[in-house]
Amino acid sequence: MALKSFTKEYIAIVEGHFNNKSGTINAPIARKNSSIIERCIDKNGDISITHYEVLKQLEINNKQISVVKCNLETGRTHQIRVHMSYIGHPLLGDDLYGGNKYLLNRQALHSYRISFIHPIENKKVEYISTLPENFKKIYSI
């Protein structure tokens, strides 16, 4: 992630609607003291920066959800999950960070696009992954 020539984009489906349709979350992340898995926002943690853009806002079964594109400036463990929960929009299906499993029985996070400079050919390459069927179903509502 430190190389600006390497980019990763994710699609996340999160709880709630956003007031701002795009923004940057700059909040340091550290391992939670009581867990070997869970991370948390901690002023003594590692610099962590996530840029987001709201692609769509929906209401399903009287629940507000948003489809969000996330670009990482840093690459911390659980970064998107922690940052989205921190701003009050946990990922659907992510019960570790406060998300509800009412629409998905897994974390609603998909690595959508990566691009980088090929180390041998010195040309930019890009790979795009199609959305999983359960994402497409929600996204098309």
Q: Domain coordinates of the chain in residue numbers? A: 7-139
Q: What topology is assigned to 7-139 in CATH? A: Pseudouridine synthase (3.30.2350)
- pLDDT tens column, 29-65: 999 999 999 999 999 999 999 999 999 999 998 999 9
- Tell me the whole-structure pTM to 2 decimals: 0.90
Question: How confident is the model at residue 28, as a pLDDT?
Answer: 98
- Count the residues in the chain: 141
Dihedral angle computed from the Cα positions of residues 21, 5, 128 and 124, in that order, rounded to the nearest 10 degrees: 140
Average pLDDT along the chain: 93
- pLDDT tens column, 81-135: 999 999 999 999 999 999 988 888 899 999 999 999 999 999 999 999 999 998 8
Distances (CA, A) of 30 to 18, 73, 79, 119: 25, 16, 10, 32
Which residues lie below 8 Å from residue 104, measured CB to CB, with a gap of 6+?
Answer: 13, 92, 93, 134, 138
CA–CA distance, 74 with 17 (Å, rounded to integer): 25
